[in-house]
Amino acid sequence: MKTPNWILSVAALCGALSVLTGAFAAHGLKAVLSSQQLGWIETGVLYQHVHSLALLALGLAVWAKGEMAFKSTAICWILGILLFSGSLYALALSGWRFLVFLTPIGGLSFVAGWLLLAKNAAQQGKA
């Protein structure tokens, strides 16, 4: 039985990167970025933190049961981190306004992951 180590690995990397990004913005970019730009990074870090922890919990649950039904949830949350948090980081650092179109797609990926988690959990309960 193949365990979902990749979910745990991605969760750990996303968690570490959110801490590093938050610290770098707070200490290294505070004098360079506007308060609005720092706010975008702060929002990205918050959502990345939350979903890194959610991925960690999901990965541990899947690992304990050896069940891969929740893979779609993990993929949605990873896409959400990349598109939502990533677009906010890039917007703050580059000023490329077109990136704001990726942010809601990332937000929808987060929501889709939560809805898939609910659906899959309900189906698991019936098995």
pLDDT at 3: 52
Rg (C-alpha) for the chain, rounded Å, is: 16
- In 3-state terms, what secondary structure has residue 67? coil
pLDDT digits (tens, 9 = 90+) for 41-88: 999 999 999 999 999 998 888 877 767 778 889 999 999 999 999 999
Distance separating alpha carbons of residues 110 and 127, to the nearest angstrom: 26
pTM: 0.84
Tokens for 91, please give them.
């917007």
Which are the contacts of 4, defined by CB distance < 8 A and separation ≥ 6? 59, 62, 63, 68, 71, 74
How many domains, in total, are found in the chain? Answer: 1
Provide the domain limits for residue 51: 5-126
Tokens of 79: 């896409």
Report residue 74 CA to chain centroid gap: 9
- 28-43 pLDDT, tens digit per residue, is 998 999 999 999 999 9
**At 1, is the pLDDT very low, low, confident or very high (cuts 50, 70, 90)?**
very low
pLDDT of residue 65: 75
Q: What is the mean pLDDT of the chain?
A: 89
